[in-house]
Amino acid sequence: MKLFITAFAFAIASQLMYLPVLAQGASSNGALGGANLGEYMKSIVGLINTYIVPLVFAIAFIVFIWGVFQYFVLGGASEEKREEGKKLVMWGIIAFVVMLSLWGLVNLLVASFGFGGQNVPKLPTFNPPS
């Protein structure tokens, strides 16, 4: 059973490897407003980067602040509340470290392999009149 699950996971992962190629070659027949699938995926990624990622960072920050509040304010006399606050602070810090590490790794890979989708402008030239 364990071998089957491993083989199934490998098969799925190997098929997902070809999705970027399919996204570049596929086009919609007007269903996406004339845009191809690659542009649609770029807009989805832009939406995630604009709204979802800051929301997750905000939630992690709120958890961290709530843990600090529980540790110092609510847990002044209760050792149990102080332990709960300490755990929340620890998990908030771990969440920040993991999110920042993944964010940095993704940006490093994008910069290394040129997946940024940015066009490099041509150098300006001067052609004197003859």
Tens digit of each residue's pLDDT (9 = 90 or more) over 73-107:
877 778 888 888 888 888 888 888 888 888 888 77
Q: Which residues pair with 27 in a beta bridge?
A: 36
pLDDT band at 119 (very low <50, low <70, confident <90, very high): low
* Short-list 6, 5, 40, 1, CA closest to 24: 40
Q: Is 127 left (phi over 0), alpha (psi -120 to 50) or beta?
A: beta
Q: What is the mean pLDDT of the chain?
A: 75
CA 83 to chain centre: 31
